[in-house]
Amino acid sequence: MRKITPKQDSYMTGSGPGKPMKKEKGNPVYPKFNIGLEHLPEAKNMKLGDHAHIQIHGKLSRLSQGGYDNSAEFEIHGISHKKKHKGDDESTETKPDNEEAEGEEVDAKK
């Protein structure tokens, strides 16, 4: 599984009488996606901060490569979910419970 490197802004703080400027870093910002609970009802049983492995089967619907926007948009045609447990190795790829053969569409209503 590919690791995501979050964006992290740098800025200077500490301006004032007798205070030297210090370089600080903001909180890491990871990319996000949002999906309705009707398509992923398992999320109702999760708590904020829980981790999950989510596999998405999608179709590329928009590709933008320009000065201000470098992104891809996908239509989600299938999804599977597996709750991540403490001690799971993030660098290994796990197979979802209902894995389908490559190229087949996963039923999104499961």
pLDDT tens-digit map of 31-75: 898 999 999 999 999 999 999 999 999 999 999 999 889 999 999
- Give me the pLDDT at residue 2, please: 83
- Give me the pLDDT at residue 78, please: 94
**Residue at token pair 């179709």:** 59
- Give me the pLDDT at residue 96, please: 42
CA 110 to CA 79: how far, in whole Å? 9
Residues in Cβ contact with 41 at an 8 Å cutoff, skipping those fewer than 6 apart: none
pLDDT at position 103 over 50? no
% of the chain surpassing 90 pLDDT: 37
Half-sphere exposure of 32 (CA within 13 A, CB side): 4
Which pTM value belongs to this model? 0.56
